[in-house]
Amino acid sequence: MFTNSKLTKSIRLALVFGATALITPYSIAQEVASEAISEEESFEKIEVTGSRIKKLDLVTTRPVTFIDSDYLAERGITNAQSAVTDIPGVFAAASPEVGGNTAAASQGVGQRTINIFGLGSQRTLTLVNGNRFVSSNSPVGGSSSDGSQLDVSNIPVALIDRVEVVKVGGAAVYGADAVAGVVNYVLKKDYEGAEISVDNNFIGTDLGNDFSVRGLIGGNFDSGKGNAVIAVEYSKLDNILAKDVKTLSNNWSAFTPTAADAVLDADGERFAGQIRLYENTRAGILSFSGLLTPGDTAITNLGLGQWSDGNFYQVDPSGTGNLVPYDTGVPTGNAVWSAGGDGLDLGQTNTAQEGIERWNLTSMSTYAITDNINLNFLAFANSSEAKNPGYQAAQYNSGVFGGLAGALEFATDYPYLNDSARSEIEGLLGGPGNFYMHKGWTDLGQREVINESNVFSFKFGFDGDFEVADEFWTWELNYQKGWSSVYSQSSSVNELRFVTAMDVGVNPDTNQIDCRYNYEDEYGEQYRPEGFGLTADDNPLGGADACSPLNPFGEITDAARDYVLYNSIGKTRIEQEIFNGYLSGTVMSLPGGDLGVATGFEHRKESASFADDASSSFIGTTANSLSGGYDTTDAYVEVYVPLVSSDMDIPFLDSLSIETSFRSMDNSRSGSDKAWALGVNFRPLEDVMIRGNVQRTVRAPAVSELFLPVVEISSFATDPCDARNRESGPNPAIRQANCDAEGIPADFASIAQNASRRGFQGGNQELGNEQSKSKNIGVIYSPSWAEGLQFAADYVEIDITNAIVSFTLTDIMEACYDGVDFPNSFCGNFTRLDDNQLPTNNAFTSGFVNAALRSFRAIEYTASYSSDIKDIPFVGDILGEVGSFDIALRAFNLKKNATSNTGFDFSDNTGQYNNPDWRSDLRIRHSLGDFTTLLDIEYSGEGARNVEQTNDLQYIDQFGNAYKTIESRTLVNLSLNYAVTEGTVVRARITNLLDWEPSERENAIGRFTYGQSVNVGFTTKF
């Protein structure tokens, strides 16, 4: 225990950089707010994230935001992710709220990860009590970028004491991956008592529920030597389908306009890259009931698939099996997409929110073995089941796709074709013949993904303190073991059985329509494995009479679904083992304070594996099982040097301190490396502090980046040589010249923008560490003449080199056509056919490399004020005793966010709608007696539609008006808390109080809302 007469000042300054805590005043601030604190009182030194050295104040050389348990409770926050994503500049990476997705993470459904500054969740290190936690991010099919990210759903909300968010680095103290910053969840210590909390959020009022019940019990034992705490949580988040969300089902999209819809410039010319807003867009390449055509191609906007009478027809969606007209909708200028009509509507098959049911059990205990040695134990046992009920139809067949996804050919004597449809088709064909079906098989099912996840982790260790030469030292020694598993089931179509079930005739034994496989003796024998005189007993098509006929023109039976569909299964297992320790204390007392030192070590093993069920062989794609790992041995040292203190009474030098840290890392895969940091805190005056920090950090390659086998993947592409994209890119003139040099016509329309292509991707065991250099400088002003008022500003700069990247198909093509050295090596990584289109299969090859660059600049501002209203000048005189008032404004001003995957193609979307210049929030809290009211306002600034826009008429709304920007967005949330008794609080919160909805322009770039949501809950403490 230590004394310091300047602690009150230090705490006041600390609260500035932890402005979040000012909304629900941080517990330490409450302890020191009274003027009655004596200079002789003693206070325990505090360890803050970013340093292992315990100091009397909370001030660090980097911006830190504190969030305490009251902040969570008063807002009814029920997951650890939402505790930090309110902070401007901190984003959700993986989240169950997927907003109408067209794909699903097969091994990551329902997970939650954090992304500081938008630099990638793999560059944010998330800790629990200052220690790493085993990841749940699968190396194959994970929900986040490749890395060892923590799924923060595993952290019990009831047990959170506070969250500390340190922006800018942290690798020198915590090791690799802390590039953008560190999020540390600090759990309650020595808890005594019991409490239960229940919350239910009525999402969009009636779309679904987010239910949570949390219990906490703890107490001392053995005359206070020990303390044990158990936390139990259950939560259930409902699935929400995109078609049930107003702002997702009634969607707007932007496509090339028709000649009639185009807007011409003053010279009567049309910009080739112009796109216009269209409502309820549909792809005219199929229908959910089955678009029927005389040929094998259907693109209704181009007239392909018309019958001899000039019309389009489909199978009756009501199930009669008859032919009915197919509504083509209103064509756009895009070859595939129309406004309205009966074409493919992705919104009808997508998920807006993944459902998850979770149990978390956490046990924590401490025991004082002696006065100076403690035993600590922390264990987690968590289980969950998450579900994405569908992100596309189970099967698509269309003439624009290849292989077994192409158009289905039928003869007019096909048994399931009813007499009415047969007569009409033969009339259109001029007699018996063949025709084609293009269908999205929603009646067969959707591509559902279910994940069963389990996480187990335990840590036990010893900590203590001792004195040497009257100087105080603390130490820790810990062993930690954790493992997580994800068992996934994804509904898939067995393509061999799919075509077999439709290959039907009339069974002579039953006189009923049946699979030919069931009654023709030699049918399917070519699929039975044989060789070397051996013949397998089993046929992939099943045993005798196994096939159940599938009617493509009518109702599909459950038996047919069971025969055609199967669950593809995958299993992930991730293991982590850590042995670490540190020693921290005071070396000597300097005139400016205690010279602090911390040194420590960490040996860590990480391994991950993914095993599939080899079902990929059914469709001829590559198996993607992998297994790999690495270990790292690190050592670090920190030094805190207080050079000047206020007690020395030096004019214009109230205090000055330096912090420095160094870490050496020896990774078995990426080799040896180092991280370091140097920071300074300088107070020219008692009310003003200037802080700065420079550091070098690293990120080690993830298991998937190292060991992923060469696997087959699907990808769309924004083709640089498409007419819509020729005038884009870092240098449009170079792009156009390179496309011309390859002989691609100026009016070329790439099918890869609307139909995915298949290619290959693999890992790279030669990857090295990403390197990062960062710095921050800030000023804090806490005027002594206005107690409770604080201002702060921090400039942040991060540059990443050798960033690990796996080029997408678009990246590869852009690197080819935007290069000044065309044709370069990237041009050989994809293939074009004679018509310049990419082939359906074997279209590209990609892999992980250390090649990318990132350059980030931002300024953060905070302003806060906390006071009893009666003490506010003038206002207090009028209002008198009407409670306390807290207000905090946080603003994040993005200056630069540039990316290059190749080193020559830097792009910076700063100021664009998805990276606006400004994000901010305003949080107001009023407490009066048993009532507490909170008003939270979140703002995302106006942004350019495209920062690389080259023509004023590039973007046109539905009325023909040109626009360049996407409007700002302001969301208002209101919370009310009432203390019914001393131990019971009831609460209610309305999210989106003003019922904001996106405009058509916003909807077209993916903004949506569930509408107003209402959360009600209570907490009872015993």
Residue 506 CB partners (closer than 8 Å, separation 6+) = 415, 512, 513, 514
Check residue 9 and give its pLDDT. Answer: 40
Q: pLDDT per residue over 54-109, tens digit each?
A: 655 556 788 889 999 999 999 999 999 999 999 999 999 999 998 866 667 778 89
Q: pLDDT per residue over 770-804, tens digit each?
A: 999 999 999 999 999 988 999 999 999 999 999 99
Q: What percent of the chain has pLDDT over 90?
A: 71
Check residue 141 and give its pLDDT. Answer: 82
For residues 162 and 21, what is the distance between their CA atoms, to the nearest angstrom? 9
**CA distances (Å), origin 455, targets 446, 483, 486, 597, 654:** 29, 6, 9, 35, 50
| Band of pLDDT at residue 41, cut at 50, 70 and 90 | very low
Residue 327 has pLDDT above 90, yes or no: yes
Higher pLDDT, 457 or 715: 457
Residue 475 has pLDDT above 80, yes or no: yes
Cβ atoms of 528 and 496 closer than 8 Å: no
Radius of gyration, CA atoms only, the chain: 32
**Angle at 970 (CA atoms; ends 967, 971), nearest 5 degrees:** 140
Residue 47 has pLDDT above 70, yes or no: no
Total number of residues shown for the chain? 1022
Higher pLDDT, 523 or 391: 523
Q: What is the mean pLDDT of residues 681-687?
A: 94
DSSP reduced 3-state for 965: strand
| Band of pLDDT at residue 381, cut at 50, 70 and 90 | very high
- Residue found under tokens 């936690």: 133
Residue 623 has pLDDT above 70, yes or no: no
- Whether this model's pTM surpasses 0.75: yes
Q: pLDDT per residue over 265-286, tens digit each?
A: 999 999 988 999 999 999 999 9
Check residue 22 and give its pLDDT. Answer: 37
Q: What is the mean pLDDT of residues 899-903?
A: 81
Higher pLDDT, 53 or 388: 388
Least confident range from 536-540, 617-621, 838-842: namely: 617-621
Average pLDDT of the chain, as a whole number: 89
Q: pLDDT per residue over 365-377, tens digit each?
A: 999 999 999 999 9
| Band of pLDDT at residue 231, cut at 50, 70 and 90 | very high
Higher pLDDT, 288 or 401: 288
Residue 11 has pLDDT above 50, yes or no: no
Burial 475-488 (b: 16+ CB within 10 A, else e): bbbbebbbebbbbb
For residues 27 and 15, what is the distance between their CA atoms, to the nearest angstrom? 11
Beta partners for residue 619, in sequence order: none
Which of these, 852, 669, 702, 670, lies nearest to 768 by C-alpha position? 670
Relative to beta strand 969-979, strand 984-991 is antiparallel
Q: pLDDT per residue over 548-583, tens digit each?
A: 999 999 999 999 999 999 988 999 999 999 999 999
Burial class (CB in 10 A: 0-12, 13-18, 19+), 44: exposed
Least confident range from 34-38, 206-210, 803-807: namely: 34-38
Higher pLDDT, 30 or 47: 47
For residues 385 and 362, what is the distance between their CA atoms, to the nearest angstrom? 18
- Residue found under tokens 């501002």: 861
Q: Which helix (H) or strand (E) holds 413?
A: none
For residues 177 and 700, what is the distance between their CA atoms, to the nearest angstrom? 7
- Residue found under tokens 């006065």: 371
Residue 248 has pLDDT above 50, yes or no: yes
**First and final C-alpha spacing in the chain:** 31
For residues 984 and 409, what is the distance between their CA atoms, to the nearest angstrom? 68
Residue 31 has pLDDT above 50, yes or no: no
**CA distances (Å), origin 257, targets 333, 758, 965:** 4, 29, 19
| Band of pLDDT at residue 486, cut at 50, 70 and 90 | very high
- Residue found under tokens 């967005």: 969
For residues 377 and 479, what is the distance between their CA atoms, to the nearest angstrom? 10
| Band of pLDDT at residue 815, cut at 50, 70 and 90 | confident
Return the DSSP state at 245: S
Q: What is the mean pLDDT of residues 957-971?
A: 96
Beta partners for residue 385, in sequence order: 357, 452
Least confident range from 7-21, 274-288, 342-356, 507-521: namely: 7-21
- Residue found under tokens 């802080």: 691
809-817 and 732-741 are packed helices; what angle lies between their axes, rounded to 10 degrees? Answer: 90
**CA distances (Å), origin 713, targets 140, 487, 621, 946:** 12, 21, 9, 29
| Band of pLDDT at residue 513, cut at 50, 70 and 90 | very high
Which of these, 241, 239, 203, 446, lies nearest to 354 by C-alpha position? 239
Residue 459 has pLDDT above 90, yes or no: yes
